[in-house]
Amino acid sequence: MKCPKCGFSQPDDIYCALCGINIGRYARKRKKQHYKIGLFALLIGVAGLAVANHFISPSIHNRIEITAESEFNKPSTQLHQKTRSDMMTRKTDSAPSTRKDRSPEHQALDTEQFSFESSSQGNEEYSQAQNESTEQLETAPQWFEKGKGLDDDSEAETECYKKAIELDPRFAPAAFRLAAIYFRQGKYELTDNHFANFLKYASDQEKQTYNIYVYYSLADVERLSESIRQEAAAQLEEEQTPSQAEGETGERLSDEETAPEMHEEIMTVVEFHPTNGHITVPVVLNGSLTATVLVDTGAGITILSREVAQELGLRESRDKSITLRTMALDIHAQLAQLDSIQVGDLSRHNFPVAIAPDGFGTEAKFNGILGMDFMKNYKIYIDNEKNKFMLTPKAL
């Protein structure tokens, strides 16, 4: 897509990556400006017609008076014939609006009356069409698309998303857009509720389409995920009968014997995305930039692409070049230092990284590699069923 303000080309997104404007709102604003200009031009045209009519009408009236006076001065026979002719003409006319002997003022009144009746009929037809279109919205996706078409954070847009959720409480896209509106309005409690529903019901594809990290940090998302897990556990506990609880006790004991390490304190949990058989997770660099990195236990040092390094303004050490052998590929790189790097709730400061000059290829869906220099002090757990990447501290 192309930014309508600065002309910068980028993938489809809500905001322009160069000038930072909301692309949808800017386009609507320009459309409204064009509409106002057109309306102003129309008003000027109507005013001009009114002024012209004011100067033209007296001359027409004077010509009518002169014609009437000349007719009066004709012989009585001709006047009688003229009168009979006018009477026959009036009898044959079917509608007052088509009579030629009516004055311009009367014709104008007839035209205004016809225009008013047409306008009233048009408004009634429009209202009827609006009611019929509203009645036809019977599914959650239909209400969602109607609200998405408004895209103005108005009460009408929020009502559309509420109606969609009412019809289908598991419809995650409506929950996301409703939460985004409340976030921009500063209603953070409602934002939490609807973002939590989004995380609870959204598919992996929907989570990639609707990026919650535009509004929430990793810690906020994990907080919502933890509340969802606690709610699910409480609900499961309420549904369990005493006999089921006793029957499951033995299973839990056997699980504790085979996997006691899972009961250790979990320092952080991050949702990962499989990429060509590898695991990628989001990280926050220098507290401002979110990047996607590949988890590689075979890499001794964390690596970033040159594009990310330039965006962060990192200074590379030109006097020292190293060759890195990773699980994915060999990389020739130079060293630099981050102010901070954060994975979930874990962060490191003054953290050295390597800068890959050639990136990771055009088909790579990540712009960095998370190495063992960050993960060496933690035990790593990976839940492939739930796509969870977990870190716990090693025992001293």
CATH code for the domain of 201: 1.25.40.10
Does 126 fall in a domain?
Answer: no
Does 99 fall in a domain?
Answer: no
Specify the pLDDT at position 139.
Answer: 93
Domain stop point among 215, 237, 259? 237
Specify the pLDDT at position 331.
Answer: 63
Does 110 fall in a domain?
Answer: no
Is residue 366 within 8 A of residue 294, CB to CB? The reply is: yes
Residue listed under structure tokens 């960050």: 374
Q: What is the pLDDT along the chain (396 residues), one digit of tens a residue?
A: 788 888 888 888 788 878 878 888 888 888 888 888 988 899 999 998 888 888 776 665 556 555 555 544 544 445 445 445 555 555 444 444 444 455 555 555 555 555 555 555 555 655 555 555 555 678 999 999 999 999 999 999 999 999 999 999 999 999 999 999 999 999 999 999 999 999 999 998 898 899 998 898 888 888 898 889 888 888 887 776 554 544 444 444 344 343 434 444 556 788 887 777 788 899 999 988 998 888 888 788 888 888 888 889 888 877 666 776 655 556 667 888 899 999 888 888 999 888 887 666 656 678 888 888 888 888 888 888 888 888 887 764
- According to DSSP, the residues that pair with 294 across neighbouring strands are 280, 369
Cα–Cα dist 338/350, whole Å: 6
Specify the pLDDT at position 113.
Answer: 56
State the total domains in the chain.
3
SS3 330: strand
Residues 231 and 294 placed together within one structural domain of the fold: no
Does 131 fall in a domain?
Answer: no
The token pair at 135 is 């009645």
DSSP symbols for 71-134: HHHS-HHHHHHHHHHHHHHHHH---GGG-TTS-HHHHHHHHHHHHHHHHHHHHHHHHHHHHHHH
Does 248 fall in a domain?
Answer: no
Residues 232 and 312 placed together within one structural domain of the fold: no
Residues 273 and 389 placed together within one structural domain of the fold: yes
Three-point CA angle 159, 161, 163, nearest 5°: 70
Is residue 262 within 8 A of residue 250, CB to CB? The reply is: no
Residues 294 and 388 placed together within one structural domain of the fold: yes
For residue 314, the 8-state DSSP code is P
Cα–Cα dist 293/285, whole Å: 11
Is residue 181 within 8 A of residue 195, CB to CB? The reply is: no
Domain stop point among 25, 54, 83? 54
Does 254 fall in a domain?
Answer: no
Residues 284 and 355 placed together within one structural domain of the fold: yes
Cα–Cα dist 87/69, whole Å: 19
Residues 273 and 215 placed together within one structural domain of the fold: no
Cα–Cα dist 366/252, whole Å: 38
Does 336 fall in a domain?
Answer: yes
Cα–Cα dist 305/311, whole Å: 10
Residue 57's Cβ-count burial label (10 Å; 0-12, 13-18, 19+) is middle
Specify the pLDDT at position 253.
Answer: 39
For residue 395, the 8-state DSSP code is P
Domain stop point among 10, 26, 54? 54
Is residue 57 within 8 A of residue 104, CB to CB? The reply is: yes
Does 16 fall in a domain?
Answer: yes
Residues 172 and 273 placed together within one structural domain of the fold: no
User: For residue 379, how many other CB atoms are within 10 A of its CB?
Assistant: 15
Specify the pLDDT at position 96.
Answer: 44
Residues 303 and 209 placed together within one structural domain of the fold: no
Residues 283 and 193 placed together within one structural domain of the fold: no
Residues 219 and 277 placed together within one structural domain of the fold: no
SS3 355: strand
Range of the domain at 309: 268-393
Specify the pLDDT at position 393.
Answer: 78
Is residue 52 within 8 A of residue 60, CB to CB? The reply is: no
The token pair at 119 is 């306008």
Is residue 299 within 8 A of residue 326, CB to CB? The reply is: yes
Residues 386 and 275 placed together within one structural domain of the fold: yes
CATH number at residue 327: 2.40.70.10
Three-point CA angle 238, 239, 242, nearest 5°: 85
Among 247, 176, 240, 257, which residue's Cα sits nearest to residue 211? Answer: 176
Residue 312's Cβ-count burial label (10 Å; 0-12, 13-18, 19+) is middle
The stretches of the chain forming alpha helices (DSSP H) are 23-73, 76-92, 104-136, 140-150, 155-167, 172-184, 188-201, 204-209, 218-239, 242-258, 306-312, 372-375
Residues 196 and 286 placed together within one structural domain of the fold: no
Ramachandran bin of 28, using left for φ above 0, alpha for ψ from -120 to 50, beta for the remaining angles: alpha
